[in-house]
Amino acid sequence: MQNMELDLVADVVFVIEATAVNGAYMNELKSNYIVPTIEHFTKGWQVDDGEYLISERHATQYGIVIYRTAANLLDPAVSTYGPFVWPKQVLETIEHLPLVGGGMDSCANMSEGLATAHCCFEDMKERRTRLMIDALNVQRHCILICNSPPYSTPVMECWKHMGKTVEQLAGLFHERKINFSIIAPRKMPVLFKLFMKADGDQPVAAKNYAKNIRHLVLLKGYHLKERPPSPNANTGNVGVAGLMANQMVGPGVGPGGNPQMQQQQQQQ
């Protein structure tokens, strides 16, 4: 049992894609990245702690936003949970999220999820004001956990950000000084692009936090355990252009491939 006041005060919103294709990897992402993230923002707490006492005025606030696909016709595009100040409650909520469905859609309502996250930060700020906490001293972090690219359609359900695209919402994180991070079980060019947009169009840093070579872990404003870069994982550091170039290389290229095909592609 612990009773302590934290030096780090933050508002953290997890934006999670609520589909079966993302839920299939959630246990792996949770143990490797989500739990260490909660431990980072809640100093002194460990995942096996049964009780954790903390002053609510000096606690990290957590919010959870889940977004779905157009296949979930009977459900709203977005649902929210929180805010929470007890880390165990955050973790238990994530473990019981309905990460199912999605139909045959290859995209999801990411723009609706990010728009709702912006609203959550406004609500958290108002709550801090009621507790007489200086909002200027509070770090703000949005952490996107997804496995599908966004729809190309703009926001339709969140009236505060109606008509904004997913790229505009990413840029709004930069304008509002909200740190935007991405955790995904696979690398997608659109996620690199969104991360750079939220970082003021800065290139992706070459730090590697991914435990699995296939994972994409782009963090801003905080860090996890760094891992040595794999000689076969160069796509994690080359950014959007390099990743797209690597995906355009066809089968048969490389050691043991067809030399004639290699020569033709080199000429092209």
Residue 234 lies in a domain: no
Q: What tokens does 200 get?
A: 């003021």
pTM for this prediction: 0.82
Total structural domains within the chain:
1
Is residue 265 situated within a structural domain?
no
Q: What is the largest CA-CA distance in the chain?
A: 71
Whether residue 145 lies inside any domain: the answer is yes
Instruction: Report the phi/psi class of residue 200: left, alpha or beta, with left for phi > 0 and alpha for psi in -120 to 50.
Output: left
Could you tell me if residue 253 is inside a domain?
no
- Boundaries of domain holding 90: 10-46+55-175+188-214
Per-residue pLDDT of the chain (268 residues; tens, 9 = 90+): 344 444 678 999 999 999 999 999 999 999 999 999 999 998 766 666 555 555 666 789 999 999 999 987 778 999 999 899 889 999 999 999 999 988 888 999 999 999 999 999 999 999 888 876 666 678 999 999 999 999 999 999 999 999 999 999 999 999 999 999 999 999 999 999 999 999 988 888 778 999 999 999 999 999 999 887 755 544 444 444 444 444 433 333 344 444 454 455 445 4
Nearest to 142 by CA among 109, 107, 108, 183: 183
Q: Would 249 be classed as within a structural domain?
A: no
The answer as to whether 33 is a domain residue is yes
| CATH classification of the domain holding 76 | 3.40.50
Q: Which residue has the tokens 């260490």?
A: 36
In a domain? residue 233: no
Helix (H, G, I), strand (E, B) or coil at 44: coil
Cis peptide before 83 (omega within 30 of 0): yes
In-domain check, residue 261: no
